[in-house]
A = this chain, B = another copy of it.
Amino acid sequence: MKIEKGFIQVYTGNGKGKSTAAIGQAIRAAGHGLRTLIVQFMKEYPYGEVETLNKLSEFITIEQYCGDDFVLKKTLPPQSELDKVKKAFKRIESAFQHGEYDLVILDEICVSIYFKLVETSAVIELIQKKPEHIELIMTGRYCPQEIIEIADLVTEMKEVKHYYSEGVLARKGIEY
């Protein structure tokens, strides 16, 4: 099976469920034989999904390209992180060209723009290279308006209530 016309999806907003929705989408697609490349930005920490998705490597490839330490240090991203993002973009372009994937997920790409790892214009240029048959899914808070405008589907995950506000810390297996 192939996707006839691939759309551009965005999951943004301050609520929980953006990255997990993209992962769930890859799981659903795999059941129909579609192949997904997941490129994670700002997630060098061992998120639980990596180990599980590696068991489904026939259908899903997950790769992590840069960390988010600089955010905690309140600095601009160092050159080493910028270089990793460039490498990620080359990988994505190559996936667009070679046609081995039906879905491409750019996890946390929106927040990467916000933290100056990449410019909006560079992401838009990348989006424009997406071939017709690939579905492109982008996640992360702070999606810029220019990307919302060219997307076909935009969901805002809106926090109505969150236990973080009760002082609960991120939990293994749930938040990462």
Contacts and interface: CB of A to CB of B under 8 A. Distances in A.
Interface of A: 1, 3, 7, 9, 11, 13, 15-25, 27-34, 47-53, 55-56, 59, 102, 135, 148, 151-163, 166, 168, 171-174, 176
Contact of A21 (B17, B31, B53, B153): B17
A173 to B, nearest CB: 4
Report the copy number of this chain in the oligomer. Answer: 2
Contacts of A34: 173
Contacts of A19: 24
A28 B24 contact: no
A18 B16 CA distance: 10
B32 A1 contact: no
